[in-house]
């Protein structure tokens, strides 16, 4: 009887222990599930989108929109600054300043202009404006150490400004691309600062020019030019994270050229692919190019065909492989931007006066159209 009672006591203890642990186990699972659901259900903070435009139609300057990063919806259009043809914008890394070109030929005797704004409580306050150094400035970019580079398309040069502590535009250096010994016509279209230099795409010279910084200013780098085929028309470009590969979109022949960096720091072409369908016979005029945040997909905008071309990127070789093309649901796509999380792409369609939004499949790189918002002649999109 004592032995039987002992077994009964042991059984009751085991059953109690199991029941208690089982209760805690399900309590733990429920807590994890609740926390997970609570995290997923947290509303994502709306993003502010700055829109640069051409002002020869209904637009008056620089606008903002509010973007919902969960649904992809755009709303709350507001005019933030009246400015002639602010076709390209650049925001400082600290979020305190915004810089805009004035893509004109009559700001001063040399051509177009550039304007510095402070960003305070959602408002743009002009700090100062200066001549860009050439006609029709079409791109602007910032360095990590206090300079702005403005690409003057018709002027065929680049104006590099120092940025003062208050965000204003200071002294300027002109990098002139117009050749003295040929009949070529320079058309600087995009500049980009790296840790060790400055790259400039020149559509007219079919080359990327390289510069290096010296105490007295910028001078041609050891590899002065990255040459592209005659008539290619390099327009915009982007690097992968460690700058071992460079991707150039060529406006005139509708191609993307991949460059690889060698051990000496020079870049050499390793691949060129068409951005338009093989049976496309209409106008070809590529515009913008961007890598996804994880570097696994490359996107380019095709004016004329009115598509975004999608390539996958081999991380080891840097080479690209066609995934497909997606209609931009508009006419004449210019600049486009990926959201910081990579979940959406927004496209500025100049001639159809709309910004279209696409949800991006992070695994496949493909796009799904989700909606649009009407804006007069949008050209450049920049998230706050």
Please, are residues 70 and 80 in contact by the beta-carbon 8 Å criterion? Answer: no
- Residue 7 pLDDT: 45
pLDDT, tens digit (0-9, with 9 covering 90-100), for 345-364: 999 999 999 999 999 999 99
Please, are residues 338 and 291 in contact by the beta-carbon 8 Å criterion? Answer: no
pTM: 0.89
pLDDT, tens digit (0-9, with 9 covering 90-100), for 39-73: 455 667 999 999 999 999 999 999 999 999 999 99
Neighbours of 253 (CB within 10 A): 20
- Residue 196 pLDDT: 83
Between CA 71 and CA 88 the distance in angstroms is 27
- Residue 14 pLDDT: 40
Following CA atoms 332, 193, 358, 382 in sequence, which dihedral angle do they give, to the nearest 10 degrees? -80
H or E element, residue 169: strand 169-176
Q: Higher-confidence residue: 78 or 6?
A: 78
- Residue 42 pLDDT: 60
- The answer on pLDDT for 248 being more than 60 is yes
Q: For the chain, what is the mean pLDDT? A: 91
Q: Higher-confidence residue: 155 or 28?
A: 155
- Residue 184 pLDDT: 65
Between CA 321 and CA 271 the distance in angstroms is 10
- The answer on pLDDT for 240 being more than 80 is yes
**What residues form DSSP beta bridges with 345?**
338, 358
Percent of the chain with pLDDT over 70: 88
Confidence at 262, pLDDT banded by 50, 70, 90: very high
- Residue 96 pLDDT: 96
Average pLDDT score over residue span 287-303: 98
- Residue 25 pLDDT: 46
Q: How far apart are the first and last CA of the chain?
A: 80
- Residue 180 pLDDT: 62
Average pLDDT score over residue span 98-124: 97
Neighbours of 230 (CB within 10 A): 10
pLDDT, tens digit (0-9, with 9 covering 90-100), for 164-202: 999 999 999 999 998 765 556 999 999 999 998 999 999
In 3-state terms, what secondary structure has residue 182? coil
- Residue 44 pLDDT: 78
- Residue 181 pLDDT: 56
pLDDT, tens digit (0-9, with 9 covering 90-100), for 301-339: 999 999 999 999 999 999 999 999 999 999 999 999 999
- The answer on pLDDT for 27 being more than 50 is no
- Residue 183 pLDDT: 56
pLDDT, tens digit (0-9, with 9 covering 90-100), for 81-99: 999 999 999 999 999 999 9
């Amino acid at each position: 009887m004592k032995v039987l009672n002992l077994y009964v006591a042991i059984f009751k203890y085991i059953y109690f222990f199991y029941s208690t642990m089982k209760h805690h186990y399900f309590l733990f699972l429920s807590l994890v599930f609740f926390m997970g659901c609570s995290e997923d259900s947290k509303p994502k903070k709306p993003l502010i989108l700055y829109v640069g435009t051409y002002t020869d139609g209904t637009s008056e300057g620089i606008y903002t929109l509010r973007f919902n990063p969960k649904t992809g919806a755009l709303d709350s259009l507001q005019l933030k600054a009246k400015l002639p043809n602010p076709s390209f914008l650049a925001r400082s890394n600290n979020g305190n300043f915004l810089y805009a070109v004035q893509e004109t030929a009559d700001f001063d005797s040399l051509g177009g202009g550039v304007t510095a704004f402070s960003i305070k409580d959602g408002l743009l306050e002009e700090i100062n404006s200066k001549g860009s150094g050439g006609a029709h400035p079409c791109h602007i970019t910032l360095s990590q150490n206090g300079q702005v580079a403005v690409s003057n398309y018709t002027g065929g040069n680049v104006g590099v400004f120092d940025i003062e502590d208050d965000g204003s535009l200071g002294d300027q250096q002109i990098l002139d691309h117009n050749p003295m010994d040929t009949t070529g016509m320079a058309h600087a279209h995009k500049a980009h600062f790296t840790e060790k230099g400055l790259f400039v795409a020149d559509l007219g010279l079919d080359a990327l020019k390289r510069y290096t910084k010296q105490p007295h200013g910028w001078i041609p780098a050891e590899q002065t030019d990255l040459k592209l085929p005659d008539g290619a028309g390099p327009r915009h470009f982007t690097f992968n994270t460690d700058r071992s590969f460079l991707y150039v979109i060529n406006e005139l022949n509708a191609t993307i050229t991949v460059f690889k960096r060698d051990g000496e720091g020079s870049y050499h072409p390793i691949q060129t692919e068409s951005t338009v369908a093989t049976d496309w016979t209409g106008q070809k005029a590529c515009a913008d190019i961007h890598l996804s945040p994880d570097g696994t997909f490359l996107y380019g905008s095709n004016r004329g065909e009115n598509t975004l071309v999608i390539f996958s990127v081999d991380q080891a070789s840097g080479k690209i492989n066609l995934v497909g093309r997606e209609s931009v649901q508009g006419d004449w796509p210019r600049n486009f931007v990926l959201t910081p999380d990579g979940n959406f792409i927004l496209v500025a369609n100049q001639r159809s006066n709309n910004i279209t939004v696409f949800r991006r499949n992070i695994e496949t790189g493909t796009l799904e159209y989700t909606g649009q918002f009407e804006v007069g002649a949008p050209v450049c999109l920049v998230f706050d």
